[in-house]
Amino acid sequence: MTAPTAARGAGTTAGAASATGPVTRTLGERLDAATAGLSAPLVVVDLDALEANATDVVRRAGGTPVRVASKSVRVRHVLEQVLARPGFAGVMAYAATEARWLAGHGVRDVLLGYPTVDAAAVDAVAADPQAAAAVTFMVDDTVQADLLAAAARRHDRRLRVCLDVDASLRLGRGPLTLHVGVRRSPVRTPADAAALARAVERRGCLDVRGVMLYEAQIAGLPDATAGVRLLKAASARELARRRAEVVAAVTAATGHPIDLVNSGGTGSLEVSAAAPGVTEVTAGSGLFAPTLFDGYRAFRPRPAAYIGLDVVRIPGDGWATVFGGGYVASGPPGPGRLPRPVQPAGLRLGGREGAGEVQTPLRVPARADLRIGDRVWFRHAKAGEVMERFSEVHLVRGDRVEATVPTYRGEGICAG
């Protein structure tokens, strides 16, 4: 990836020869050298790991175009560089304000991954010819379609729409039905999708472009046990059949073919890309490889994003306290949502305090020798969320900062 700004940082290249032979640096030593002189808390992205992950995402997609999930990146420069690579096409945005902003920066295909009721943001998209041509809105209810139609009529536009169809697995019948997956769309059956498609196009200014079926129970569930793998395989078979029926029903209802059938996520690229009728898959977390993706067997992404925090005190033997650290990920609460210290090796969060708002105490093994001023490196549980806490990110190659670029926050974008 090319750097847009002047390089910063110092240090020799990892693995460079010395008078006594090759020098092999640990991850922590490389990042310490790269960020020497930079104030913490800070966040870095390892470009070698990022690029290797991007290559692997495309390989796993097997020729199906990959749409980049912006919520898992939240750095426009990184989005642009990934989109410039073969195999990637378009962005899945998470908010209407963000979608318009990306379109204004030249992204020509932005799929809004979630319905919106932000009337002001929708109106802004409809008022902007470039944004209106680039953005596809997501709907799963006619109320959302009414809001889009009002803006389209106000600005004499035709807006494109994608139908969000529930992709969860349901086992059993009646009150004994087990819902496996996330709670998303109320649209589930081919008849549901056809009825919504007809209702959307009756507005006269909205065009149904396609359908999305996000199988969270496949993409977001680590395949560490035989039981989980069997469940995921059963869900993939059921969804392949139902997806084809949904696409056929929507095509018949609208009277025209649809060009977008979106499915999948980082955890299900191979399965989703190989499914009949899928035109694109979505991935984002696979680029940064947060800790929630450590439990998968089918693929092994390389951790690429790290948080650097400095030791500010030693409260007692076997303890060190760093400044900052309370970057807890969204989702069901538990230890798996906390940032994880990874360098130096062997550090652990304290059970009573966890990751603190302004300080984080760490259990230090006897072999470690942490001192005040030392830097500790963490990985986040989710990919893009941590970028909301920083205004800039340092892009590191080897043990040198190649560029420092703004995050969404640094560019004044706070979309949710």
CATH of the domain at 361: 2.40.37.20
User: What is the Cα–Cα distance from 212 to 111, expressed in whole angstroms?
Assistant: 10
- Comparing CA positions, the residue from 165, 161, 166, 151 lying closest to residue 200 is 161
Residue 278 belongs to a domain:
yes
Residue 6 belongs to a domain:
no
The set of residues, in sequence order, having a beta carbon less than 8 Å from that of 410 and lying 6+ positions away, is 390, 391, 392
The set of residues, in sequence order, having a beta carbon less than 8 Å from that of 120 and lying 6+ positions away, is none
Residue 9 belongs to a domain:
no
Q: Is residue 99 within a helix (H) or strand (E), and if so which, with residue range?
A: helix 96-104
Q: Identify whether residues 69 and 207 lie together within a single domain.
A: yes
Residue 212 belongs to a domain:
yes
Residue 272 belongs to a domain:
yes
Q: What are phi and psi of 241, to 5 degrees?
A: -65, -50
Q: Which of 284, 316, 332 is the last residue of a domain?
A: 284
Q: Identify whether residues 244 and 153 lie together within a single domain.
A: yes
* Strand, helix or coil for residue 244: helix
Q: Identify whether residues 254 and 363 lie together within a single domain.
A: no
User: What is the Cα–Cα distance from 367 to 89, expressed in whole angstroms?
Assistant: 48
User: Is 34 within 8 Å of 403 (Cβ atoms)?
Assistant: no
Residue 399 is part of which domain span?
A: 17-41+303-411
Q: Identify whether residues 87 and 226 lie together within a single domain.
A: yes
CATH of the domain at 130: 3.20.20.10
Q: Identify whether residues 164 and 267 lie together within a single domain.
A: yes
Q: Identify whether residues 245 and 373 lie together within a single domain.
A: no
The CB density around residue 222, as the number of other CB atoms within 10 Å, is 15
pLDDT score at 214: 77
- Under DSSP, the state recorded for 8 is B
User: What is the Cα–Cα distance from 99 to 101, expressed in whole angstroms?
Assistant: 5
User: Is 166 within 8 Å of 160 (Cβ atoms)?
Assistant: no
User: Is 322 within 8 Å of 343 (Cβ atoms)?
Assistant: no
Count of helix runs (H) and strand runs (E) in the chain: 12, 21
Residue 251 tokens read as 């095509």
Q: Identify whether residues 307 and 280 lie together within a single domain.
A: no
| Share of the chain residues as helix, strand and coil, in percent rounded to the nearest 5 | 35, 25, 40
User: Is 125 within 8 Å of 132 (Cβ atoms)?
Assistant: yes
Residue 395 belongs to a domain:
yes
User: Is 129 within 8 Å of 108 (Cβ atoms)?
Assistant: no
User: Is 69 within 8 Å of 283 (Cβ atoms)?
Assistant: yes
When divided into structural domains, the chain yields a total of 2
Q: Which of 229, 252, 284 is the last residue of a domain?
A: 284
Q: Identify whether residues 250 and 172 lie together within a single domain.
A: yes
The set of residues, in sequence order, having a beta carbon less than 8 Å from that of 369 and lying 6+ positions away, is none
The CB density around residue 385, as the number of other CB atoms within 10 Å, is 19
Q: Identify whether residues 117 and 37 lie together within a single domain.
A: no
Q: Identify whether residues 85 and 170 lie together within a single domain.
A: yes
User: Is 336 within 8 Å of 290 (Cβ atoms)?
Assistant: no
User: What is the Cα–Cα distance from 288 to 383, expressed in whole angstroms?
Assistant: 6
Instruction: Please list the alpha-helical segments (H only) found in 258-328.
Output: 269-274, 285-288
pLDDT truncated to tens, each residue of the chain (416 aa)? 444 443 333 333 344 444 444 557 889 999 999 999 999 999 999 999 999 999 999 999 999 999 999 999 999 999 999 999 999 999 999 999 999 999 999 999 999 999 999 999 999 999 999 999 999 999 999 999 999 999 999 999 999 999 999 877 666 666 666 666 667 778 889 999 999 999 999 999 999 999 988 776 565 556 666 766 666 666 667 777 888 899 999 999 999 999 999 988 888 888 888 888 899 999 999 999 999 888 777 788 899 999 999 999 999 999 999 999 999 988 888 888 999 999 999 999 998 889 998 999 999 998 778 999 999 999 999 989 999 999 999 999 999 999 999 999 999 998 87
- Any idea of the CA torsion for 381, 383, 386, 392, to the nearest 10 degrees? 150
- Comparing CA positions, the residue from 67, 69, 37 lying closest to residue 404 is 37
The CB density around residue 313, as the number of other CB atoms within 10 Å, is 13
* Strand, helix or coil for residue 347: coil
Q: Identify whether residues 36 and 83 lie together within a single domain.
A: no
User: What is the Cα–Cα distance from 126 to 118, expressed in whole angstroms?
Assistant: 12
pLDDT score at 14: 41
Q: What are phi and psi of 287, to 5 degrees?
A: -80, -45
- Comparing CA positions, the residue from 164, 143, 266 lying closest to residue 209 is 164
Residue 48 belongs to a domain:
no
pLDDT score at 6: 38
Q: Is residue 51 within a helix (H) or strand (E), and if so which, with residue range?
A: helix 47-61
Residues making up the chain, counted from first to last? 416
Burial of 323 (0-12, 13-18, 19+ CB in 10 A): middle
Residue 8 belongs to a domain:
no
pLDDT score at 220: 56
Return the beta strands (E) in 267-391 as ranges.
Answer: 280-283, 305-313, 319-323, 340-343, 348-349, 359-363, 375-379
Q: Identify whether residues 126 and 250 lie together within a single domain.
A: yes
